[in-house]
Amino acid sequence: MSLSPSSLLASVPGLRRLDPLDRSVLALTLAVWAMHFAMRTMLTFMPSDQVETGVITARTIASSLGIGLCLVIHLLLRRVPRDRPWRLLGLSMALSVPAALLLMWAGEYVFGYFTNYYTMYPDRWMSDMELGETYKAYQWNFFAWCALYAAACNIFEVRRRDQQLADAHSAAQQAHLLALRLQINPHFLFNTLNTVAGLIVLGRTAESERMVLSLSRFLRYTLASAPTQLTTLADEIGMLRQYLEIEGARFSDRLKVTWAVDEDCTQALVPSLILLPLVENALKYGLGESEKPVEIVVGAQRDGGRMTLWVEDDGGTAHGTHAGLGIGLSNVRQRLDALYGEQAQLDSGATGHGWRSAISLPWQEHVAAVEAAA
């Protein structure tokens, strides 16, 4: 596995405290001056095979000074906004001019001290031609660093803004999903409390106590689930059993529930409370407005890389005659769209003898189940 220079620097204990931009600038500066050192050294040794004493040392010191000056420029520009790369490029280039002049003078003295170059060519010491050539070499290297530096800062700024947009979108999505999920609870709670009150009035304390306990377990499940949380279908079915047990007390023996959930689907991941609005609709419109017994079927089936969940009732086609039905279905559609985009669909309509709502979504399996199967 290959590592970038910035990631290698990040592994050094003393540099871990630097933020990603500082580490990237340091890696960039080291790379630019290492290339400058290599190129200048090769040009020096090309005429002959003789290595002049002290040249490596002198060039190492000069390149180290160049690295230091680039880092000073970075520190001076640290607080400059990075949303205008051309401005940052202009400022860095302006600061590089005195930096190159300073390095030119320092480099001359370093080479005069560590090499015999100016002993051999005394007329070149501080000559205009010598200084000009040295300055051009350093200035072009600074300019190259400035261009790469401005580009790196701009990249980090773009990434920062993208992350801010992603965080804002995630927060908005969380709030939206929470609002959608909370639409479920008030209607159900109102009906349940009315039923409990009726049982208490009739003196059916055992049933009312059992219903309150079921309600407590149901609310504990709903309140513990994050709006974007995925849960196993087994847990979702367990929640629906609590819900239908509570509703069974309201509709007495007129409600029959059939579970058509394939065994291999129980560990599949589904959005929490995604089936509850569909079951609510089946109870409200299929059973609530009919005098005859009604059967509700809750099913799940896997088809390759997808899974279908459905809720079906035989209470007639009265669902489609009520505008209120759209609220629950819209709730489910919006949640599916927020979590899966175009990869999930909800189809709902009359079947001739009742109503069927089916959700198709990508197959996802709980990690523990996958590891157990492996």
Residue 373 pLDDT greater than 70, yes or no: no
pLDDT of residue 270: 93
Across all residues in the chain, what is the average pLDDT? Answer: 81
Q: Which amino acid is at 75?
A: L
Phi, psi of 271 (to 5 degrees): -65, 135
Task: Over range 18-34, report the average pLDDT.
Answer: 88
Predicted TM-score (pTM) of the model is 0.53
Task: Over range 338-342, report the average pLDDT.
Answer: 85
Tens-digit pLDDT profile for residues 69-114? 999 999 999 888 877 888 889 999 999 999 999 999 998 888 888 8
Tens-digit pLDDT profile for residues 128-177? 888 888 899 899 999 999 999 999 998 888 888 888 887 777 666 666 66
- Reported as a pLDDT band with limits 50, 70 and 90, residue 288 is low
Kind of pairing between the strands at 306-313 and 255-261: unpaired
Tens-digit pLDDT profile for residues 206-227? 888 888 888 888 877 777 666 5
| Topology classification of domain 183-373 | Heat Shock Protein 90 (3.30.565)
Domain boundaries, the chain: 5-164, 183-373
